[in-house]
Amino acid sequence: MSRKTHISQLKKDFSKTYDEHSDAIFRYAYFKLSDMEKAKDVVQDTFVKFWEYISAESELQNVRALLYRIALNTIIDLYRKRKTFSLDILADDGFDPAYEPEKDVFERYESEAVLKAINELDEDDKNIMFMRYIEGLSFDDIAEVIGDRPNTIAVKVHRLLKQLRQSLNVEDEQQ
């Protein structure tokens, strides 16, 4: 869909939008919650809220970013109720964060070491790394989801990768 989408077209193509984005939203929710049933609930709630949003608005800048923002807010609401989360649970289930690396730290090292290093990041940084390297979101999309500037996100990702390299004792090949 174009960057600026008219709501009437979105309503017509709602099932297409669901088909295009529901798997990614599920993976995102499952990554954050490590609970399949809750992740399914997040997907459902996300698309219900998305429908409510498009029913009230006349146009939309970025469907994908809006869906991630709604999902993130839904997950935050669940966190407030639950308050505990650990990437160790995902490691036990065989989750591999090297799903789509850009020839970087993720494709060269064991997932346990990477998960341990990622687990040391704060929650916002984990979220950014997930959106960038697991979901493949652009800096623009990530910035829109978390309410920051794309340049700020790009710098933050660069610094996080450097931090992960240091944590894993990897030499930075770009220097």
List the chain domain ranges. 1-84, 86-169
Q: Is 84 exposed, middle or buried (0-12, 13-18, 19+ CB in 10 A)?
A: exposed
Q: Which fold has domain 86-169?
A: Arc Repressor Mutant, subunit A (1.10.10)
Contact (CB, 8 A) for 147 and 120: no
Contact (CB, 8 A) for 157 and 102: no
Q: Which residue has the higher pLDDT, 108 or 133?
A: 133
| Structure-token match 């935050």, residue found | 76
Q: What is the pLDDT of residue 71?
A: 93
Taking residues 103-131, report their average pLDDT: 73
Q: What is the pLDDT of residue 5?
A: 57
Instruction: Write phi, then psi, for 123 (nearest 5 degrees).
Output: -60, -40
Taking residues 144-150, report their average pLDDT: 90
Instruction: Reduce the DSSP state of residue 60 to 3 states and report it.
Output: strand
Question: What stretches of the chain adopt beta strand conformation (E)?
Answer: 5-6, 59-60
65-94 confidence digits (pLDDT tens): 999 999 999 988 887 775 544 555 555 555
Q: Which residue has the higher pLDDT, 82 or 145?
A: 145
Q: Which residue has the higher pLDDT, 35 or 112?
A: 35
Single out the residue of 34, 28, 38, 62 nearest to residue 134, CA to CA. 28
Taking residues 22-48, report their average pLDDT: 91
Partner residues linked to 82 by β-bridges = none
Tell me: pLDDT of 26 over 90. yes
From the CB of residue 100, how many other CB atoms can be counted at a distance below 10 Å? 12
Partner residues linked to 60 by β-bridges = 5
- CATH no. for 1-84: 1.10.1740
Question: What single-letter amino acid sits at 52?
Answer: E
Tell me: pLDDT of 35 over 80. yes
**Percent of the chain at pLDDT exceeding 70:** 73
149-164 confidence digits (pLDDT tens): 989 998 999 898 888 8
Q: Do domains 1-84 and 86-169 have the same CATH topology?
A: no
Tell me: pLDDT of 2 over 50. no
